[in-house]
Amino acid sequence: MKKRIISLLFVLCMVFVLVGCSGGKEDNAVASGETAGQGAAETDEGSQKGKLVIYTHHVGVQAQILQELTDEWLEENPGVEAEVVAPGADYENVLKIKMASKDMPDVFGTHGWANVRYVDFLLPLNDEEWAGSIEPTFKKLISDEEGNLLVLPIDQNKWGLVYNKDVMEKYGVEVPITNVDDFIAALDKIKTESGGEVAPMHVAGGDSWPVGQIFDQLATPAFTTAAENDQEALLDGTFDWNKWTEFATLIKGMYDDGYFNEDIFTAKYTDSVEAFATGKAAFCWYGNSLVEEAKNINADINAGLQPLPAFYEGDSMSFLNGEQTAFGIWKESKNIELAKSWLAFMSRGENIKKFCESESMLPGIETDVSVDLGFATEYYEEYKDIRSFPIFDRAFLPNGMWDLICKDAADMFTGTISPEQYSLDMKNEYERLREASE
């Protein structure tokens, strides 16, 4: 009996020892997983571990490039995983939900709103190796009030007015058009002489945002570029909203006179691309990427780019400037070191080149790799001394007004509201959002 008891105790002791060893290994595995989650832990071989989640507002070619570059980064980082998510048209709504739940992606595209909408979620990036390669003036547009750099800018949106050169030549319109009166005269000439076959301006109102784009772009010369301007008043809350009434009335006049495509409220962005490619549109209120997409329909498309026309006597043309493809790191990410590694990879000259050439946009950082901007190259050189101003709603309106700009613009065109009501709605929302942010 004693022997049986001793044998049983021995067996039980061995079981406890084995369980203890097994438990230790499991605890180490969990700890290792947590460490990887907190920031790209390195194994004994020096490789990184973890999964990086990347969100982008891009679709199409640019989203494909992003995926390809991320795959290349993964090849250089064995043991790491990554997921690229491209929600498309729902991007802003998806991120708003994630902001509200404080569950942001490790890395996300800020699509023009780094220092406004996303500033409280972004990790400062001043100490990254590539941070010193950003042109100082542009750097201010992607930094917070304390001067903290918020994103890696792959490219920068130096925005003007894209036009079909063949249409201009056919109807005898000389470019650049330096002021808004001459611009309206050119629109009338194209409409009249084409017999309505060519839309002086093509806008994809079926996608909503292009209607607001007209107001946002023209608001820059209307309110911010002249010697006597409204920049300070817009920022301190003293802006006279009667000026918006006059501005909205001017653009409504363009609509009433038939200077837009007849299907403005149902046309999609792809319709604008096709109209531009086939000579059915003279001007389009989109970036340079429109031209690159139009080449897929008409490889011989003859496109031009000019700065925005001035609104007031004594003023001159101007470009808009702001972030386009830019990525930041969620400051509460558990994969910060992985995210920094991915940004460092994306900052390489050959990768910047791929993005910029796909959109005909200027690089966001200086590189030692030559970038061919296609049709836009000669125009950026020709207009290199033209002033640039920040995109209007991003710099001079409180965060949250964009949807109203689009909605009320469309409602005004259809006659649902007047320019005066548009201005009143803008004033009320402006004051509400300013008060809410204080």
Same domain, 193 and 86: no
pLDDT for 436 beyond 80: yes
- Give yes or no: residues 341 and 421 share one domain: no
**CATH code, domain with 77:** 3.40.190.10
Query: Stretch 29-42: mean pLDDT, rounded?
Result: 34
User: What single string gives the DSSP state of each residue in 174-228?
Assistant: -SS--BHHHHHHHHHHHHHHTTTSSEEEE--GGGSHHHHHHHHHHHHHHHTSSSS
In percent, how much of the chain has pLDDT > 70? Answer: 89
Mean pLDDT of 265-289: 94
pLDDT band of residue 47 (cuts 50, 70, 90) is low
Q: Is the pLDDT reported for residue 19 higher than 70?
A: no
- Look at residues 378, 407, 424 and tell me which one is the last residue of a structural domain: 378
Whether residue 380 has pLDDT greater than 80? yes
Split into its structural domains, the chain has a count of 2
173 and 148: one domain? no
Domain boundary among 335, 360, 378: 378
- Let me know if residue 18 belongs to a domain: no
Q: Is the pLDDT of residue 121 over 50?
A: yes
The pLDDT assigned to 7 comes to 44
Same domain, 80 and 98: yes
Q: Is the pLDDT of residue 3 over 60?
A: no
Helix (H/G/I), strand (E/B), else coil: 144: coil
Three-state secondary structure call for residue 328: strand
**Are residues 369 and 392 part of one domain?**
no
| CB-based contact 54:84 (threshold 8 Å) | yes
Residue 146 and residue 221 share a domain: no
Q: Are residues 284 and 410 in the same domain?
A: yes
In a domain? residue 339: yes
Tokens 């125009």 label which residue?
A: 379
Of 269, 257, 209, give the one whose Cα is nearest residue 409.
209
Range of the domain at 222: 158-321+381-437
Regarding whether 262 and 166 lie in a shared domain, the answer is yes
The reply to whether 40 falls in a domain is no
Strand partners, 330: 122
Q: Are residues 332 and 413 in the same domain?
A: no
Tell me if residue 270 falls in helix, strand or coil. helix
Write the pLDDT tens digit of every residue in 191-213. Answer: 999 999 999 999 999 988 899 99
Instruction: Give pTM, 2 decimals.
Output: 0.78
221 and 101 housed in the same domain: no
Residue 37 lies in a domain: no
Query: Is 225 part of any domain?
Result: yes
Residue 40 pLDDT > 70: no
Residue 266: inside a domain: yes
What end-to-end distance do the CA atoms of the chain give, in Å?
Answer: 83
Least confident segment among 14-23, 263-272, 315-324: 14-23
Residues 166 and 118 in one domain: no
Instruction: Look at residue 22 and tell me if it is in a domain.
Output: no
Residue 23 lies in a domain: no
Task: Report the relative pairing of strands 50-55 and 80-85 from DSSP bridges.
Answer: parallel
| Same domain, residue pair 267 and 297 | yes
Arithmetic mean of pLDDT, 58-81: 94
